[in-house]
Structure 1
Amino acid sequence: MTLLQQAGLAIGLSLVAALTILRGTDPQSLRLAREATFDLYQRWAPRAFEEMPVRVVDIDEASLRQFGQWPWPRDRLATLVDKLSELGVSAIAFDILFAEPDRLSPRNVVGDVPGVDPGLLRQLPDNDEIFARSIAGKPVVLGFGLSNKGRYLPSVKAGIAFTGESPIAAPPHMKAATPLRPELEVTAAGIGHISLNPGSPSSVVRAVPLFLSDGEQLYPNLALEALRIAQGASTYLMIAAPDAASTITSIKVGEFIVPTTAAGELWLYVSPDTTDRYISAGRVLAPGEATADIKAALEGSIVFVGTSAAGLQDIRTTALGENVPGVSLHAQSVEQILSGRFLTRPDWANGLEILSIAIMGGLLVVLTIFISPAIALVAGLLITAFALVASWLAFSVAGLLLDPLAPVAAGTITHFAATSFRFLVTDRERRAIRRAFGQYLSPSLLYRIEHTRNALRLGGDDRELTVMFVDVRNFTEISERLSPTAVVRFLNTLLDALSRHVTANEGTLDKYIGDSIMAFWNAPLDVDDHCCKAVRAALAMRETLADLNAADTFGFGADQKVGIGIGIHTGIACVGNMGAEARFNYSAVGDAVNVASRIEAACKSVSFDILVSEDSAKSLMEFALLDAGKLALRGKTGRTNVYVVVGDEKVAVSAEFAELKLIHEQLIQALRLRPGTSRKIAAAARLKAARLTASLQEFYDRIPRRPDHFHTNPIAANINLSRTSG
């Protein structure tokens, strides 16, 4: 592990730790984002509306037009209670506050007139008393709201028991309540709070507190109290977590068990708002007997009395994005409990999401720093897809609320940060390598050197190389006939076409020297069969040049053909970055380089385009080679045995080459023993050579004039014997 990788790992894991801690603190922005995700799930799969014994008697616009503006006198509400009771409802819950005396009561109206006899005043009817007498003995639940003023707290009409630790501190806290008229508080069968989302920063009602607490007493909400009264139950059972204080897991009311949040809240699983849930209060109050459809809808039902009139400002937003009367959410709470369709966020959800951030983030950091940002991206996308699918399935199948957003967002941030670090810092060295070697190496070799440590250190290593020199024949003559611009264009076209075969065969382009190319194999990294690959590149250059001449690419005409000479030698050379720290080139120097250059120059005297040294020939036993004799290379004290490269393995096993090989051996023997007979044999070899390559014809024309180049050569004989036996 390099220092840069260690730094990247430390920075990445530190970021993961910070994101994990951030999720552990669960700031409001994350909560709102999580809740918005759960809202989206409900929009995709809302709870279907089912016919339940729950109805809303709606003081709607039609009712207000029929009976006058709000507030109505409470004797009219008493009439409403009487009619609902006659229809056999199981409970009547008012989502209405009765905090002030009825100002429309006759006693209150006359009491405001000066000089009225107090005795007469007491004889006048009081609407609050009428309403109190009406609800007495009936299953009526009245509501109260929250207040920051006063010390009034309503009475609790039910017993509250609990298992485990006391849950008194778990529900949302209430300081005081809006007061109920005393006569109404005494006669009501139940009292419940009507607050839907106290203290929530969001206007969307997602979870309803089933209880509030003042630190000493628990107060049920309107919907839960209505359900209790409808069942005739007298007690709530609070089921607390066995190993956590002030934590509620569920609430038992009558025959129903309601799973809750730790604070005793019911996650609302809402259904789309529908008129089937509502009955206009005006229809219930209409004179005469109620219609059959009203009787069928209300008999045995839990009835919530509230208003949908826009001017009364009791409109709330649901997770489906709908604006509905607040009273309908109380009704939906009871519908949800009766249907058994609950949404729950398990106690272990937070821990799972925090752990997933740590694991996913750590994995992405390791993959990005040590493997590849692309692989990390694929892994991140797969994990993201898994998290999204798992979260959706948990919701749609089991009603579990598991947040996929925080792990996915944390993973995205982590991957971006780690990728940025790697691009800006860790990959700096590889980008430098790519700039230095991109024009000279094949993509596969470049990838290998990118992943090799210390690839660009200044200095060199002694290693075995196969070195190639390529030179254009008669370049001086060609350049004399062309303008400087045309010469450059000619060289660019030719050298580009030839150089491609070097990189295609895993070679390294060292430099261009005028009209020459220097390349080598087996550096900067090991290349298997490097000598064979160098010869394959040379043969490919031969074919490419033939195609260029045939197509008259250079525009010289049919009579002017461009020729090249290629010299190849295998030996030890020093290869590495040479120059200064600020500017250097990757190159090779040494005797092996000089020998390859001299062999290329000898192509002229031998009259053949591809020559290899004896050291290279030892690794080319499968190629079609012919002995070209021992040459006195400039700067070398002894002679160097060289071979012409006729073709590849296919040519080597052909019948034509086998015949030529026999004649060539006879020619060499004649040159050594009977030079006078060599011309006749050379002519025969020339005829055979014409069937293989035209280059050999000039080679055989010149051989009789080079008898001093051929003498006893055991290694050459071994190569020949190997060819013959093959």
Structure 2
Amino acid sequence: MTRAQQVGVIVGLVIVAILTILRASDPQLMRQAREVAFDEYQRIAPRAFQDLPVRVIDIDEASLKEFGQWPWPRDRMARLVDRLSEMGAAAIAFDILFSEPDRLSPRTVMRDVVGVDPLIVARLPDNDEIFARSIAEKPVVLGFALSNDGSARPEVKAGFAFTGEPPFHAPPRITGATPLRPQLEANAAGIGHISLNPGDPSAVVRTVPLLLSDGRQLYPNLAIEALRVALGASTYVLANAADIPDTITLIRIGDFVVPVTAAGALWLYLTPDRADRYVSARQVLAEKGVSPETRAAVEGSIVFVGTSAAGLQDIRTTALGQNVPGVSLQAQIVEQILSGRFLSRPDWADGLEILSIAVAGILLVLLTTFVSPAMALVCGLLVTALALAASWLAFLYGGLLLDPLAPIVSGSITHFAATAFRFLVIDRERREVRLAFGHYLSPSLLYRIEHTQDALRLGGDDRELTVMFVDIRNFTEISERLAPTAVVTFLNTFLDALSGHIIANEGTLDKFIGDSIMAFWNAPVDVGDHAAKAVHAALAMRETLARLNAQDAFGFGNGQTVGIGIGIHTGLACVGNMGAETHFNYSAVGDTVNVAARIEAACKDVCFDILVSESTAKLAPRYALLEAGALALKGKSTRTRTFAVVGDEDLAASASFAALKHVHGRLIDALAAQSPAAREILREAKSHSGGLSADLAEFYRRIARRADHFLQRPAAPPHVLPGGKTLH
């Protein structure tokens, strides 16, 4: 180990130590980034909606328009309770505060009128009393909110049982609450808090405390209190970690077990907001009675009464990025408990993430220093992929929230720092050599020179290639009517659009020859299914050219379009560095290259845009191919059997193409036998070709004139239909 490498390792390990300590301290920025990552997981795979017996009775805009502005008089709330109870609601929970006297009560209104006899006022109805009588002996749960004023505490209607010491200091602290009207508090079956994220600086509601504590008493959340009342349970059972005081691990409500954080909070696992979760209060209070649909929605359900009206300002932002009424989150808590779909961040998550940062960082430092930055990058990408995959799979299948960002970001910083140090110190001499030669050689050739022995020697290797030639039809005519600069613009647009498909399908772009492209597959590295990838690239070129013509991307106007011919052949060729000792190119030569060029030229005679040789067709059997005849290619002593590429694998598997291929085979047999039936079969083939490819019409119009191309034709293999049947 050189001194520079020793210094590099020390610097890298110091950076890893700093990053590990930083993660252990878990600053606010890291927590926010982690929570955003968990939000993205929910957006990708939200909780699946199930039609559970949970509904929101929505005081929506339509209800306010029907019955007047908010707040409504409490005698109307009493009618709402009576209707819901009569419809068979299992529990009725109000995400509404009833802390002040009803200002619309007749007794309250008349009390302030001068000259009215107090005895008369006393005999007037009081809406709070009406509401209190309505909720008595019914499964009604009222809500309260936290308050910094005073020290009021709501009455707790439920009991609590503990498996260990009472965790009174685990939940968030309650110092005061909005007081309920005494008669309402006394008659309610349950009371729960409606605070969704007290003390959380984030506007996004990700966790909800199911319990609050004043140090001596626990206060349940509205949602679990509604579930308790609906189940007829009287007590919550709390479990805590045996070795950690003042923590909560589980809350049991009847037969339902809810995993929670140590502070008793529930990680929300949400479904996107849905209209079928809501029932308008207007439908419940309808003067003409309740519809069967509304009754069916409410019967047996836990209903939460709240508002979605924008002016009432009870809109919350969720991890899914939606703005929803706060009451819908209370409903979703109960849905989540009933469905048994929970999220949790285990106690060991922090330790695992800190350890992963340290181990991955040390590995990257060593690899960057002693192997190569490229190898370190590969390992870093592998670690990134593993971290993402592990975190995602843990979320998807276990509901576990494991941070993927901390090890990824820390690994990236470590790799960048170690690579920068190596670049500035360790690799300085090698970099100077690269910079000197980089003025004369392309980056790809320079890389091959560095990593391949005798890479600069002339000569090549024989290997199987799939060679493609692409040519613009009528280019001379096009160039004659364009200015030279316009010709260059046209060629640049054309070549850039089509050559990208060669690279995308793992081909090697050999050269541009005027208006033509030469490319090959399976060199300089092995490419699996190289013939099929060449055919796929040709089909993509056809599609791209059609799009460019439709958009008039070449600017010709008047409906003028550009056509191409593509020839593909697979065979043995010599590929390597070719040229002079001082100037050479990486290219391919041989009969295979010549045949591919001749097949491309033959596209004009066949009147089809993509032709492949028989050797290519055998290596790409999944594509929709039709025999185009054995062509006498220029410079070849024997005929070359060719196939027209009609379409991709989906078309090849279709019933319409199977029928056409069967008729086409009969047509070729008839032409080879010079049978009088060929004319009738040709008409049948034309009828089957409609809609498959625009070029097939001209292909079949020309085919009868090329009957000699099919004489003494070798037998074609049977066409295999889906299900294993064959057409001969």
Task: Give the TM-score normalised by structure 1.
Answer: 0.60
Partner-residue secondary structure (3-state), 2:304: strand
Q: Distance in 2 between matches of 1:437 and 1:66?
A: 82
Q: Distance in 2 between matches of 1:311 and 1:35?
A: 29
Deviations 1:361-420 (A, max 9, x none): 111111111221111000000110111111111111111111101110010011101111
Distance change (3 Å), C-alpha of 1:445 and 1:160: same
Distance change (3 Å), C-alpha of 1:110 and 1:444: closer
Residue 102 of structure 1 deviates from its aligned partner by 0.4
Indicate whether 1:2 and 2:2 are aligned. Answer: yes
Structure 2 partner of 1:645: none
Structure 2 partner of 1:58: 58
Residue 426 of structure 1 deviates from its aligned partner by 2.4
Deviations 1:55-79 (A, max 9, x none): 0000011111111110000010001
Indicate whether 1:417 and 2:417 are aligned. Answer: yes
Q: Retained in 2: the 8 A contact 1:92–1:140?
A: yes
Q: Distance in 2 between matches of 1:250 and 1:18?
A: 36
Residue 435 of structure 1 deviates from its aligned partner by 8.3
Paired residues for 1:586-665 under 5 Å: none
Q: Retained in 2: the 8 A contact 1:16–1:414?
A: yes
Letter in 1 for 2:63: S
Residue 128 of structure 1 deviates from its aligned partner by 0.7
Structure 2 partner of 1:70: 70
Indicate whether 1:388 and 2:375 are aligned. Answer: no
Residue 270 of structure 1 deviates from its aligned partner by 0.7
Q: Distance in 1 between matches of 2:152 and 2:258?
A: 29
Q: Distance in 2 between matches of 1:120 and 1:35?
A: 60
Indicate whether 1:280 and 2:280 are aligned. Answer: yes
Letter in 1 for 2:91: A
Q: Distance in 2 between matches of 1:255 and 1:15?
A: 51
Partner-residue secondary structure (3-state), 2:316: strand
Structure 2 partner of 1:308: 308
Structure 1 partner of 2:509: none
Q: Distance in 1 between matches of 2:410 and 2:357?
A: 6
Letter in 1 for 2:184: L
Q: Distance in 2 between matches of 1:122 and 1:366?
A: 87
Deviations 1:33-52 (A, max 9, x none): 11111111111111121111
Structure 1 partner of 2:267: 267
Partner-residue secondary structure (3-state), 2:358: helix
Q: Distance in 1 between matches of 2:288 and 2:436?
A: 98
Structure 2 partner of 1:204: 204
Structure 1 partner of 2:188: 188
Letter in 1 for 2:160: I
Indicate whether 1:31 and 2:26 are aligned. Answer: no
Paired residues for 1:363-374 under 5 Å: 363-374=363-374
Structure 2 partner of 1:358: 358
Indicate whether 1:81 and 2:81 are aligned. Answer: yes
Residue 165 of structure 1 deviates from its aligned partner by 3.7
Partner-residue secondary structure (3-state), 2:168: coil
Partner-residue secondary structure (3-state), 1:97: coil
Q: Retained in 2: the 8 A contact 1:16–1:358?
A: yes
Structure 2 partner of 1:147: 147
Structure 2 partner of 1:321: 321
Deviations 1:324-363 (A, max 9, x none): 1110010011001001111111111111111111111111
Residue 164 of structure 1 deviates from its aligned partner by 2.7
Partner-residue secondary structure (3-state), 1:69: coil
Partner-residue secondary structure (3-state), 1:321: coil
Partner-residue secondary structure (3-state), 1:343: coil
Give the gaps of 5 or more residues in structure 2. Answer: 441-445, 453-579, 584-728
Letter in 2 for 1:393: L
Q: Retained in 2: the 8 A contact 1:97–1:143?
A: yes
Residue 2 of structure 1 deviates from its aligned partner by 2.5
Partner-residue secondary structure (3-state), 1:192: strand
Aligned residues: 450
Distance change (3 Å), C-alpha of 1:444 and 1:287: closer
Structure 1 partner of 2:213: 213
Residue 431 of structure 1 deviates from its aligned partner by 4.3
Structure 1 stretch displaced more, 281-290 or 379-388:
281-290
Distance change (3 Å), C-alpha of 1:231 and 1:445: closer
Q: Distance in 2 between matches of 1:318 and 1:224?
A: 19
Structure 1 partner of 2:589: none
Residue 288 of structure 1 deviates from its aligned partner by 4.3
Paired residues for 1:402-551 under 5 Å: 402-431=402-431
Q: Distance in 2 between matches of 1:245 and 1:176?
A: 25
Partner-residue secondary structure (3-state), 2:249: strand
Q: Distance in 1 between matches of 2:448 and 2:313?
A: 72
Residue 443 of structure 1 deviates from its aligned partner by 9.6
Residue 96 of structure 1 deviates from its aligned partner by 0.1
Distance change (3 Å), C-alpha of 1:129 and 1:15: same
Q: Distance in 2 between matches of 1:92 and 1:99?
A: 18
Letter in 1 for 2:399: G
Q: Distance in 1 between matches of 2:248 and 2:237?
A: 11
Give the percent of matched residue pairs that are identical in Structure 1 and Structure 2. Answer: 69
Partner-residue secondary structure (3-state), 1:96: coil
Partner-residue secondary structure (3-state), 1:396: helix
Deviations 1:559-610 (A, max 9, x none): xxxxxxxxxxxxxxxxxxxxxxxxxxxxxxxxxxxxxxxxxxxxxxxxxxxx
Letter in 1 for 2:417: A
Partner-residue secondary structure (3-state), 2:205: coil
Q: Retained in 2: the 8 A contact 1:434–1:446?
A: no
Q: Distance in 2 between matches of 1:337 and 1:137?
A: 26
Letter in 2 for 1:322: Q
Distance change (3 Å), C-alpha of 1:9 and 1:164: farther
Residue 148 of structure 1 deviates from its aligned partner by 1.1
Structure 1 partner of 2:554: none
Distance change (3 Å), C-alpha of 1:443 and 1:266: closer
Structure 2 partner of 1:347: 347
Residue 248 of structure 1 deviates from its aligned partner by 1.4
Indicate whether 1:43 and 2:25 are aligned. Answer: no
Residue 130 of structure 1 deviates from its aligned partner by 0.7
Q: Distance in 2 between matches of 1:45 and 1:324?
A: 19
Q: Distance in 2 between matches of 1:437 and 1:285?
A: 85
Residue 287 of structure 1 deviates from its aligned partner by 2.1
Letter in 2 for 1:260: V
Indicate whether 1:175 and 2:175 are aligned. Answer: yes
Structure 2 partner of 1:714: none
Partner-residue secondary structure (3-state), 2:95: strand
Distance change (3 Å), C-alpha of 1:183 and 1:15: same
Partner-residue secondary structure (3-state), 2:7: helix
Distance change (3 Å), C-alpha of 1:218 and 1:434: same
Q: Distance in 2 between matches of 1:293 and 1:356?
A: 54
Partner-residue secondary structure (3-state), 1:161: strand
Partner-residue secondary structure (3-state), 2:96: strand
Indicate whether 1:20 and 2:30 are aligned. Answer: no
Residue 244 of structure 1 deviates from its aligned partner by 1.2
Q: Retained in 2: the 8 A contact 1:165–1:244?
A: no
Q: Retained in 2: the 8 A contact 1:165–1:242?
A: no
Residue 260 of structure 1 deviates from its aligned partner by 0.9
Partner-residue secondary structure (3-state), 1:56: strand
Q: Retained in 2: the 8 A contact 1:437–1:446?
A: no
Task: Give the TM-score normalised by structure 2.
Answer: 0.59
Structure 2 partner of 1:518: none
Q: Distance in 2 between matches of 1:443 and 1:373?
A: 14
Q: Retained in 2: the 8 A contact 1:59–1:280?
A: yes
Distance change (3 Å), C-alpha of 1:194 and 1:445: closer
Measured on the aligned residues, the alpha-carbon RMSD in Å equals: 2.4
Structure 2 partner of 1:99: 99
Paired residues for 1:213-252 under 5 Å: 213-252=213-252
Q: Distance in 2 between matches of 1:53 and 1:349?
A: 34
Residue 4 of structure 1 deviates from its aligned partner by 2.1
- Pick the structure with greater CA Rg: 1
Residue 173 of structure 1 deviates from its aligned partner by 1.6
Structure 1 partner of 2:120: 120
Q: Retained in 2: the 8 A contact 1:223–1:331?
A: yes
Distance change (3 Å), C-alpha of 1:116 and 1:421: same
